Every structure is written in C-alpha cells, then in structure tokens.
Amino acid sequence: MSKAIEIRGLKRRFGDKLAVDIDELSVERGELLALLGVNGAGKTTTVRMLCGVLPPSEGSAAVEGFDVVTQNAQVKSVVAVSPQETAVAKNLTVRENLEFIAGISGADKPEAKRRAAELISALGLTDEADRRAKKLSGGMQRRLSIAMALISEPKVLFLDEPTLGLDVLARRELWRVIEGLRGETAIVLTTHYMEEAEALADRVAVMAKGRVKAVGSVAELLAQTGADKLEDAFVAIAGEGAI
C-alpha cells in the first residue's frame, strides 16, 4: 500500500520547550492509527502539523505525497479534522450543517444534498436530520462533527479525542461509527483511552513527552512488553510518569 502519511525528523518547539520530536512514523492508506498518550503528550500538536495548520520547527512530513510546508494548500485539500471541541453550527439542522460544509468544499447544491443524505444515513443521523444541532445529545453532536469532516471526501481523516466527555454508552456507539469508516480512508485517531485504541486501531503509536516510543498492533505491543493488557504495556513503554 502507498503511504498516506510519512514523517521524518518532525519537531515542534514552543519557545524553549520541545513539544514534539518524532524520528519516523508512517500511516498506510486505509489504516487506522491511534496516537495513544496522556494529555500533553504531543498528540494534538502532531495533528495540527500534519493538517498544515502549524508549521514544524524542523523535519518533514508528507500527506498523500504533499509536503506540509511547501505544499500546504494541497495538504489542506486532502485532509479533514474532527477536533476535540465539537465544531457545529448550533442553530442549523444536521442536514443544513452538512450541506453548508459541502458547499464550502466546492460541491454544487445537488451534490451537497447527495453527500449530506449519504452521510446522514451512514452515520445513523436519519432521525435527527432536521433537528437543530443544539438540540442533539453530546454523542449525536460528535457524530455530526465527524460527518462534517467527511463531507469533503478527504483522503486522510484526523479524529482528535473524538469521544472526549462522552458517557460509556455514547462512546461505544461512536466507536461503531468509526469502525464503519475503516478501510476507506486513512484515519489518525488521538486518544488517551486504552480501550478505545484497543477496540479501533490497526496499529497504536505510543506517545510520551512528544516522542513516539513504540508503534505496532496491540498484540505486538503486548508481546514486546510481556504485558497482559494495553494499559500495562503503555506504562512499560511510556514510563511510570506518563500516566
């Protein structure tokens, strides 16, 4: 498979602080990679660089073959982000939110309506389609946020802490939605929930203090550390102070 993302020597500094320092990392097309780490591990900063929003201090990264610095516009044309903060227009309906974003991404009205209808069905939003976003539950708002990221038909999708703040049932419902996206689009999922990475990821990249400490399937990480569960493997890899 061709690489959706390739990172080489990627660093980001904020003043004297080195927030991200990744020697090498890649994501295959159609793969779901989880960036697993506690708050402050560098996950969101990494995503922001890969989306072309935040320039690296050193090193390089390419998304679908486009350099995040020198081909920034091309990068932004092939990626989409569902951020930690649910970014929806609260006074618009689900359908109106989706059609609006589709129009911004270049779709004409018939195409915008088609894409919106497809995503409403695919993400289980049919019963909510004509409700204003502010009246949706937290879980449904997160589904809408993901749908809005997908409406531009990105080749690479970034889900930044997609289930943050949701209760257990809403989280598991959203897992089913994310599971249904696998294989079609390269997905980078940031999370600090061990069970989320275990349930969804093809591979897990363990991040601590801005560095990727290990990458592999859950089975590979367990075998590498001799642990019986991912939480123990994470501590063994990232260190006691990282949890």
Consecutive H or E run containing 230: helix 230-238
pLDDT over 90 percentage in the chain: 82
The string of DSSP letters for 101-162 reads HHHHTT--HHHHHHHHHHHHHHTT-GGGTTSBGGGS-HHHHHHHHHHHHHTT--SEEEEEST
Per DSSP, the three-state class of 67 is strand
pLDDT digits (tens, 9 = 90+) for 194-220: 999 999 999 999 999 999 999 999 999
pLDDT at 149 over 50: yes
Tally of domains in the chain: 1
Consecutive H or E run containing 232: helix 230-238
pLDDT digits (tens, 9 = 90+) for 58-75: 999 999 999 999 999 999
> Rg for the chain (alpha carbons), in Å?
18
Alpha-carbon torsion 134, 136, 140, 143, what sign?
A: negative
Among 94-103, 129-138, 180-189, which is the least confidently predicted range? 180-189
Cα 144 to Cα 92, 130, 136, 177: the distances in Å are 12, 12, 9, 11
pLDDT at 243 over 60: no
What domain range is 129 assigned to?
Answer: 3-242
Rounded mean pLDDT, 82-110: 92
Rounded mean pLDDT, 43-71: 96
pLDDT band at 1 (very low <50, low <70, confident <90, very high): very low
Here the CATH number for the domain that contains residue 199 is: 3.40.50.300
Per DSSP, the three-state class of 165 is coil
Say if strands 203-208 and 32-36 run parallel, antiparallel, or are unpaired: parallel
Phi, psi of 169 (to 5 degrees): -65, -45
Say if strands 186-191 and 156-160 run parallel, antiparallel, or are unpaired: parallel
pLDDT at 93 over 70: yes
pLDDT at 241 over 50: yes
